[in-house]
Amino acid sequence: MLDQLPNRPASPSDLRANRVISIPDFHLEGQLTPEQIDFFEVYGFIRFKQFVPRERANELYQALLELTDELVKKGVDQINGVPLIKGKRDDGSPYFGRIPFASLQHPEFAKFLRDPRFQAIIDQLAPGSRLGEDERDGLVVNRFRNEPGAKYKNLGWHTDSLRDLAYFEKPRRYLNVGFSITDSPMKVGGLRVLPCTHHQSIASMLTTKIHFFDMEPDPNELAIETEAGDLTIHDGRIWHRTALAEVTGDASERCVTYLPIMDGPVIKKHEKSPTPVYFHLKKFLGY
């Protein structure tokens, strides 16, 4: 399937938007099928269409707006030691590009996290792991916008191995389970991956690209488009980035939430938890 994509030099238009991945329209009813598991293991990612109806995704978007208003009114700048990434819209109104521990801050996100299919994903793709909504960064909601006041417009190439090292942990398999709250067509940027790179060595994970600093499109990268209500999973060891939107303002907004799937020792976060080194690096990069 993916190996049938044409092997040709990338044109300027390819480098701006790259190529959309032609993948099956998988659906997740309960358990993952052998075909779905095999696809994920081989390529390092998978997409499930209509994980929940668009109407439910819209409800979560409204919850995000409510949570944003509450955090702004309270003047919150970090939660459990994890900084909020602030932005300002063109009309001057503030918002947050990244909110950690969302399920501990709003009941709709807490309800969403209780979907039994998430446990099925864990049992089949990451046995022994758990949903740690009060660990590391908890349930994270990202709100990407392309405008002058935005700090979180895109995200450079990285693997999540760097995050493990920042927490003084050995790099391990890490599932990035992302739920699309809004549509993510090519024009709003979105997830780009280098398929199959989750099989690379630790040295390659840390040296192939300069984590976060490297923003350039890769001739071999592929784009994953989603609609509101879709679910994607990618192995955290795979090289991935978030592309910059081609449009600006409200038209550029892309909202996605990532589940807190954890393994290893339980290290719960609290209001006095220190800020990890990992976030000091991101602050240096302007996030």
Q: What's the predicted TM-score (pTM) here?
A: 0.87
Longest CA pairwise span in the chain (Å): 53
Name which of 238, 190, 208 is nearest 17 in CA terms.
Answer: 190
pLDDT one-digit tens code per residue, 101-155:
999 999 999 999 999 999 999 999 999 999 999 999 999 999 999 999 998 899 9
Report if residue 43 sits inside a domain.
yes
Report if residue 193 sits inside a domain.
yes
Report if residue 66 sits inside a domain.
yes
Name which of 164, 159, 113 is nearest 140 in CA terms.
Answer: 113
- Which residue spans within the chain are E strands per DSSP? 19-20, 45-48, 78-79, 82-83, 85-88, 94-99, 130-131, 140-144, 155-158, 175-180, 190-193, 222-223, 231-235, 240-243, 254-258, 261-262
Report if residue 202 sits inside a domain.
yes
CA 222 to chain centre: 16
**CATH number, domain at 92?**
2.60.120.620
Domain that holds residue 83: 36-284
Report if residue 98 sits inside a domain.
yes
* Chunked mean pLDDT (size 10), the chain, 287 residues: 45 50 87 96 96 98 98 96 94 95 98 97 95 95 96 89 67 86 95 90 80 89 94 93 95 96 91 77 59
pLDDT one-digit tens code per residue, 212-224:
889 999 988 989 9
Q: CA dist 75 to 95, 105, 147, 198, Å?
A: 11, 14, 22, 39
Structure-block tokens of residue 45: 């990612």
Report if residue 267 sits inside a domain.
yes
Q: Which residues contact 221 (CB under 8 A, 6 or more apart)?
A: 18, 19, 192, 193, 194, 241
Return the pLDDT at 174. Answer: 81
Report if residue 24 sits inside a domain.
no
Round to the nearest angstrom and report the end-to-end CA distance of the chain: 36
Report if residue 95 sits inside a domain.
yes
- Give me the sign of the Cα torsion angle 11, 16, 21, 22: negative
- Domain count of the fold of the chain: 1
